[in-house]
Structure formats: C-alpha cells, structure tokens
Structure 1
C-alpha cells in the first residue's frame, strides 16, 4: 500500500508539471492585441497589423511636434546656379549637412554640397550625378546616382566613388532616388523614372528594391507609380515608401526576419509626396513637392503637425548639434525647423 501510494503521488506530480508546461507553451504562442488606429478615413488598418511584436528600441527623449511649424530659410545655402534645379537627399554626418544639388538640363548634372557648422556652403563632390543620399556604418555616403543608373558609395572626404549595385534582371535601373539603410547593412531604395533620361536604359517598371548584405537585389514592390521617399521605423520592423504623384500615398510594409512583407496604404490623398524622415518615436515627416508642404504623421497615420515653405519641397533629415534640427531641401533652397526631438540623419 505504501509503495502504491508513493507511486500515485509521483504520477500526480508528473501530471501537474506537464499541465503547467503545456499552459506555458500555449501562452508563448499568443500575440499581443493589435494597437488601435485613428478613425480618419484616409488611414488604413495597416498600422495595427505592423505594430504587433515590435522589437525593442533605444529610449527616446523629447516631444513630438504639434500644430503649425515655422521653417526658417538658410539664406547662405540659396542656390548660386542660373539654371533651375533642386536640392535633394539631405544627410547629417558628424557636424555637417550634405545634400545633392542638381539641375534639370545637361543630363541632370549634379554635385554634392556641404553645409558646415559655421553656416558656410562648399562643394564636397563635383559631378556626383546624385539624387538621394544616406550614410553607412563607416561614415560613407551612399547615393542614388542617375548618372550611372545605380547606387554608388562616395568617400565624403576624398570624393572617391565605388559602385554598390548596378543592375536588376540584367538591366540598369531607371534613376535611383531615395535610400534607407538598416543597421545590418541591408539597403532599400526607390527607383522612379524622374531622371531616367540621364543615361540610356532602365527597367520596364518603376520599383522599390532591397539590397542584401551580400549584394543580392530583390524587388519589394512595383505597383507604386514613381515611388519616391523611403524610410525605416526606429525598430526597423516597418519600411515606409511614398509615391504615386498627384494621387499620392504612403505605404507601410511590415518587416519579418529582415524581409518586407506585402505593404498596405497607411495614408492616401497626398499631392506628389517626396522625401521622408523619421523621429525617434516613429513619427513620419513627409514632404509634398509642389504643395510646398511638410506633414507629420504618427505611426498610425494620424497627422499631428504641418509646415509650409516658399518653394517646392523635396526631402528632410534630422541633424544639428543635438540632433533636433529638422532640415528641409527644396528648389535651390534649404530650411530648418528647431524641434524638441531627435530623428534619422537622412
């Protein structure tokens, strides 16, 4: 009887342990509830779906902007060219802002300018053939270069250029435009047709591409007409792309295991959306080109702030001594907005 009783107690203990283990495993499979999204008609449910199980990000100090913002023109940066053109691709490196400066003639001839801490503007790289700019982990510029119909890498100190990626499916690109780089070195870029005539050849469609760390190029999306601005969320779990011209949109792609999934429209009704920047809370700073307008959206697609400029807008980037100055590029012009939050350097 004693032996039987002990055996029964042992079996009961094992059964209890198994029940607890199964309950724990079942709990691990549960996903957190979707986050609520704004009820605005132009905001989709994409934000709720992409917010599930987001990776942890570094602490973010500061307050997001609200209401009407006032850009201040940087007079020293006004273009000295006589031909019409655009400033594009602002990127903050160390203590200076770099940006592309190209004209609409002569194959969209472009150079990279540098605004230093003293407020002086100098030419860092002549004949870069560049549009959008980013900075890699080594402090080198990565550029969308319509001159070469490729992505290029420049040493900002020497101007030396090397090629990052030149083709997809045996053809050169149309005119690589804007760029986002993940912490692991993965590069995302847009390839509209705005400067396609800068050199022969191109793709059949405009598209969004991913360049793996081993150099493999894959197509993310070819359903947006002239995709333009591109950016990553602070946790790098969402890729944002805008485009579509006068019927513009902002699309969000959840990233799973480093690969963008099918995108969903987060905001619609935009007028020629162009560049983007992201603050450390994940808010999206989106420029509308001919509307001469900056709009700030939460990750859920709710507009929280806006600003207007006196010339066409192209792109945005955070910089300055504390990383809280938002720089805007446009038609031969630079502006800045002092904020109380840090954000992406390009």
Structure 2
C-alpha cells in the first residue's frame, strides 16, 4: 500500500482554495435545516466536523450526509437510515480487510504493528488475530474458507489451511524473490492473482533491501533490526508485476510495471471475465515514473491471459485526484474503490463506479481509505480500512463473491 504523502504532495498547491471552498460549504451545511425543520446532520466537511466516535451524537436523520449520490442510479444502493460507523481505531496503517462468512468475523492487517486484527459480528469485539503477521498487507478468504495473506517481510504469499497449518503459495519467480506482495483475490477457476509492488521495501511497512539494493542504495539501513533470528533478507530483483498462481502451483507473470506501473489493488467482475487493476505512485527503489493513480480494466482469457487493456478511470473527482487502492465489485458489477485524496478533506473514503466507468456515488471518511470489502451475514455491509481505523456502513447490494 502506498502511503498518503504522495497524493498529498501532488495536490498540495491547490489546498488553500479547496479548504476555503469546503469551509464555505461546511458553514452552509451547518446552518441549513432539513425539510422537517431539524438541523442538517454534521459531515466530514462541516465546521466543526462530524464526530465519528461510537458515543458521539447521532449523525443521521435520513440518509447519512457522507454517503453522497453523484448519479441518480446510486440511490438504489443507499440504505437511508444506515449511518457510517467507526467500529475501531488504534492501527498505524490499516489494510487488507477480509470477511469470514462461516465465523462471521472480519480480519484486517495493521501493517506497521505487524499484526492482524479481528472484529466479531455478534458483539463488535476487536482483538489481535495473529501476531506476528510478517507485516501482512492484503488478505482474502478463498472459496474453501481458507485465509490467504500477502506478507511484506518474507516477500511471499501464504495460505492458512483449515487444520491450522500454513502453506507457502509463492515466494519467488524465476529464482528471484518478490518485492512485497500486496493484494490478492481468487479467480473462479481456483487460481490466485496477486500484485507485487515495492511498498513493503521500507522500514515502516516491512524491511528495506540489503545494502546496495534499490530501497537501501547506500546501505545505511539495517534490514535485520527488530526481526526474528534467521530472517532471510534480499535485494529487489524483479519488476513490479501482477502474478497468477495456478491450481497446479505454477506461477505466471501476467503483467509487468511496463504495462501497468505499480499495480496495487485488484478484483474481478462478478462473471470473472474482467480484471480491474489500480496503478498507484512510485514506491521505494522505483526508478520509473510510477503510476498516476488510475484504474485499468482487462479482458480475462484462459489461464494467465489478459487482453484489451483500457483506462477504466483516472479517478479525478471535482478536480481532485482520489488515488485508488483496494477495490471490490458488487453483484451488479459496480466497482467500489478505496480513495486516497491526501489532505483534500471530503474526498477520502470510497468512490463507486458503474461497469461503464461512470462515477455514481461516494462515501466520505475523515481518514485516507486504503482498502475495503463486503461482509456481514448477508454480505451487504461495506467494511473500510482507513489509516488508523475501521469503518462500516450498510448498503443495498451484496458483494460479488467471497473476499
């Protein structure tokens, strides 16, 4: 996962005027009254801003003010009396939410704290699920109910079997270690697809290269500090890429950095015939220009074959770059995308696009959103990992598949 500073730097020059604009909008909202004579509820853009804490005053009279309709087609997906809730806070950088349907719990990664967390649906309890997690990032539950995780420190993909054992699914390609596996999803044919950008090659989210490697060129950093004895450190040797793990165990390189710079979040359409892939900014050790915060779509063929590359969205909303990261589709094929707009208040959270690439809705959060997934017993609750916190809101649709 790329950290927020890249997008913040990119939009920094435009912030004063935008802040003034948002402050004016906030003042208007704060003084407005609803058709029923009640003050409009606070929002992320009001002054003072909305309080998301569990014990805060109610924020919703009818439709959450931070669930925003951009196109009328989005109205059908809104649950009017459902409010965005902050379920928990306390992470350093929250990522990789995944819903376990059988156990009715959500897990996610707190990458810098080297742990996975768990939220229980029956009572909202949050506890540590796995520590150490090897600075895991993306997580998923496959169609057999097994957890699959992308690990930064070990540069590998692991699967936790139903008997409690763990299997290494991928740790190298062509004899070279991966950079830092990031996000993963299972295809309907049983294969696993995962991205491998370089964001884990830094002290905060993983471990840098050995001395002389791209993320540690001067050798001033010691990658072994704070790590268990026997950790195998490496130098970056592969391009950023997208990979596919065949059910036979064969690993194929599907796309490289030259085709989609810094591949990050990924997901499939409900029929698994379309692959969506986010392209984010430069990471540690990158020598190329890096991604531009865009989403690309591809037709999925047999095995690792993809074709018909096309720009799905540049993720610019009202002139603000809402950098994409993790994403999921719903059963109607709409794409729900985590939004990283840096310091642009009111644009962090989630953007929602129809299958034709048209923005239809937004969910505004007070923190940068890194990833999301559908969960809950009916798979109609959107869980969002955003910087230090976990948020959720009910929606009037279901996620397209287990994730």
* Pair in the same fold by TM > 0.5: yes
After TM superposition, list the pairs within 5 Å mapping 1:286-305 onto structure 2.
Answer: 286-289=337-340, 290=342, 291-305=347-361
- Aligned-pair RMSD on alpha carbons? 2.4
2:131 counterpart of 1:126: yes
Distance 1:261 1:206, change over 3 A: same
Whether the 8 Å CA contact 2:379–2:398 is kept in 1: the answer is yes
Which residue of 2 is the match for residue 266 of structure 1? Answer: 312
Which residue of 1 is the match for residue 29 of structure 2? Answer: none
* CA distance, structure 2, for counterparts of residue 267 and residue 336 of structure 1: 25
* CA distance, structure 2, for counterparts of residue 240 and residue 232 of structure 1: 6
Whether the 8 Å CA contact 2:160–2:166 is kept in 1: the answer is yes
Tell me which structure has the larger Cα radius of gyration: 1
2:251 counterpart of 1:207: no
* CA distance, structure 1, for counterparts of residue 366 and residue 270 of structure 2: 30
Q: Runs ≥4 in structure 1, deviation > 4 angstroms?
A: 66-71, 155-158
Distance 1:71 1:266, change over 3 A: farther
CA deviation profile, 1:100-141 (whole Å, cap 9, x unmatched): 1121xxxxx521111001100111211112100011222111
Q: CA deviation at 1:143?
A: 0.8
Given the alignment, which residue of 65, 80, 89 partners 1:78? 89
Whether the 8 Å CA contact 1:131–1:146 is kept in 2: the answer is yes
* CA distance, structure 1, for counterparts of residue 75 and residue 367 of structure 2: 28
* CA distance, structure 2, for counterparts of residue 183 and residue 263 of structure 1: 21
Given the alignment, which residue of 143, 148, 152 partners 1:142? 148
Q: CA deviation at 1:196?
A: 1.8
* CA distance, structure 1, for counterparts of residue 106 and residue 175 of structure 2: 35
Q: CA deviation at 1:261?
A: 2.1
* CA distance, structure 1, for counterparts of residue 144 and residue 126 of structure 2: 23
What are the ranges of 5 or more consecutive residues in structure 1 without an aligned counterpart? 1-61, 104-108
CA deviation profile, 1:75-96 (whole Å, cap 9, x unmatched): 4x211x6xxx211111110211
Q: CA deviation at 1:279?
A: 0.3
Which residue of 2 is the match for residue 253 of structure 1? Answer: 298
Which SS does the other structure have where 2:93 is aligned?
strand
* CA distance, structure 1, for counterparts of residue 163 and residue 312 of structure 2: 39
CA deviation profile, 1:47-66 (whole Å, cap 9, x unmatched): xxxxxxxxxxxxxxx98536
After TM superposition, list the pairs within 5 Å mapping 1:69-218 onto structure 2.
Answer: 72-75=84-87, 77-79=88-90, 85-94=92-101, 95-103=104-112, 109-117=113-121, 118-129=123-134, 130-155=136-161, 158=164, 160-197=165-202, 198=207, 199-218=233-252
* CA distance, structure 2, for counterparts of residue 271 and residue 156 of structure 1: 38
* CA distance, structure 2, for counterparts of residue 307 and residue 332 of structure 1: 17
Which residue of 2 is the match for residue 29 of structure 1? Answer: none
Work out the number of aligned pairs and report it.
274
Which residue of 2 is the match for residue 23 of structure 1? Answer: none
Structure-1-length-normalised TM-score = 0.73
Structure-2-length-normalised TM-score = 0.63
* CA distance, structure 2, for counterparts of residue 71 and residue 127 of structure 1: 34
* CA distance, structure 1, for counterparts of residue 89 and residue 298 of structure 2: 36
* CA distance, structure 1, for counterparts of residue 157 and residue 76 of structure 2: 33
Whichever structure has more strand as a proportion of its residues is 1
* CA distance, structure 1, for counterparts of residue 80 and residue 313 of structure 2: 20
Q: CA deviation at 1:72?
A: 2.0
CA deviation profile, 1:233-287 (whole Å, cap 9, x unmatched): 1100011100132721111110123432242211114543111011011100011
